[in-house]
Amino acid sequence: MKVAMYYNNRDVRLEEMPVPEIGPGELLVRVKASGICGTDVMEWYRIKKAPLVLGHEIAGEVAATRVAGYSPGDRVFISHHVPCMKCRYCLKGHHSVCDLLRTTHFDPGGFAEYLRVPKINVELGTFALPDEISYEDGSFIEPLGCVIRAQRFAEMAAGQSVLVVGSGISGLLHIKLARARGAALVVATDVNDFRLAAARQMGADAALDARADVPERFRALNDGRLADLVIVSTGASAAIAPALKSIERGGTILFFAPTAAGVEVPIPLYDFWRDEIAIVTSYAASPDDIREAIELLKCRRVSVGDMITHRLGLAEAGRGFELVADARDSIKVIIEPEK
């Protein structure tokens, strides 16, 4: 089978691998759509494990099965990381720090014609893809699930004012979900005009150049108040300082995107203590978040088709990685192995 083998962000090669053999309790899935995630182009992290086949935002159909209850042709979404649901972390709701979640994965990855779904992923992370959800839209289930979990952790509520810092794919999903959950005001920032325009199109009331005085611009839009919830959806260090200055008293800042490892971020602890500002982080999605994402897509409360800017075959995966890494003229890049 053909795969897109990752060496670095500028070197992704079309290569051949054997189709994985499945064992008892496993599925072989034909990949129909696989989204390139912003984490896929975190080169400082990915290159340590290269060469490898990436891709975890997938939707596909069962090609072969050694599992009761599944048949060839079944439409499925599969989670690449799965929590055990019974350790102390899972029972406390912190599924993303479960030891099992940090060791589970596909074989070889979503940027391939086929992938093997290990038994544990079949049992804990495989979901039927409703007919109402296309394969392309199904590739958004994982990233939307991550956004759902993050806003749940941040206790996002109807009537809040929200500032989304960074208008890449994650930021745009945060805009859409905040809108679906009744935010009173949603403002986005970025340094890229293409993405600022996308933020307005996706539902932001205003989209601000991140190099402007964001706190004051936000006050002008929000009756003199700062944001109840600030969502940092970029790892750019320059975006963090204004984000920290944009939180209203009693508000919450959600760090959704990471900086590079080892980067230290100064926090104005006295100001946060005095104004009762909460700091929240979130990574990955739990099975319940995945189920909610499927339902939101199925009933069209969150639409995602308008976020796809590029549909590429495996032979063009290298171009897709460059588009995502450059972060200029793309929003969501989907790899479709059958193209």
The verdict on residue 150 lying in a domain is: no
- CATH code at 28? 3.90.180.10
184 close to 161: Cβ distance less than 8 angstroms: yes
Do 131 and 185 belong together in one domain?
no
Q: What is the separation, in whole angstroms, between the first and last Cα of the chain?
A: 14
Q: CA torsion sign, 155 to 160 to 163 to 169?
A: positive
The verdict on residue 107 lying in a domain is: yes
Do 10 and 104 belong together in one domain?
yes
Q: Give SS3 for 332.
A: strand
The verdict on residue 61 lying in a domain is: yes
Nearest residue to 172 via CA among 145, 198, 206, 143: 198
The verdict on residue 159 lying in a domain is: yes
Query: What one-character DSSP code corresponds to residue 314?
Result: G
Question: Which of 281, 299, 325 delimits the end of a domain?
Answer: 281
* pLDDT at residue 262, as a whole number: 85
The verdict on residue 23 lying in a domain is: yes
Q: How far are the Cα atoms of 34, 91, 178, 246 from residue 319, in angstroms, in the given order?
A: 15, 42, 32, 36
109 close to 53: Cβ distance less than 8 angstroms: yes
Do 277 and 303 belong together in one domain?
no
What are 64's strand-pairing partners?
28
Do 247 and 331 belong together in one domain?
no
Q: Which two tokens stand for residue 234?
A: 């970029």
Do 127 and 77 belong together in one domain?
yes
* pLDDT at residue 259, as a whole number: 85
**Sequence-separated (6 or more) residues with CB below 8 Å from residue 176:** 202, 203, 302, 303, 304
Give the whole-angstrom CA distance, residue 229 versus residue 10: 36
The verdict on residue 80 lying in a domain is: yes
207 close to 188: Cβ distance less than 8 angstroms: yes
Give the whole-angstrom CA distance, residue 125 versus residue 289: 12
Query: What one-character DSSP code corresponds to residue 19?
Result: P
Give the whole-angstrom CA distance, residue 274 versus residue 268: 10
Rounded to two decimals, the pTM is 0.96
Nearest residue to 331 via CA among 309, 313, 316: 309
Give the whole-angstrom CA distance, residue 213 versus residue 245: 10
Do 173 and 41 belong together in one domain?
no
Q: Kindly state the greatest CA–CA separation across the chain.
A: 61
Do 182 and 234 belong together in one domain?
yes
Do 268 and 161 belong together in one domain?
yes
Do 10 and 131 belong together in one domain?
yes
The verdict on residue 100 lying in a domain is: yes
Give the whole-angstrom CA distance, residue 114 versus residue 62: 10
Do 129 and 41 belong together in one domain?
yes
Amino acid making up residue 223:
D
236 close to 257: Cβ distance less than 8 angstroms: no
Do 262 and 308 belong together in one domain?
no
**Sequence-separated (6 or more) residues with CB below 8 Å from residue 273:** none
The verdict on residue 114 lying in a domain is: yes
* pLDDT at residue 98, as a whole number: 97
* pLDDT at residue 90, as a whole number: 97
- CATH code at 160? 3.40.50.720
* Structural domain containing residue 204: 155-281
Question: Which of 262, 281, 300 delimits the end of a domain?
Answer: 281
Low-confidence ranges of the chain (pLDDT < 70): none
* Number of domains forming the structure of the chain: 2
Q: Which two tokens stand for residue 73?
A: 């042709």
Do 177 and 81 belong together in one domain?
no
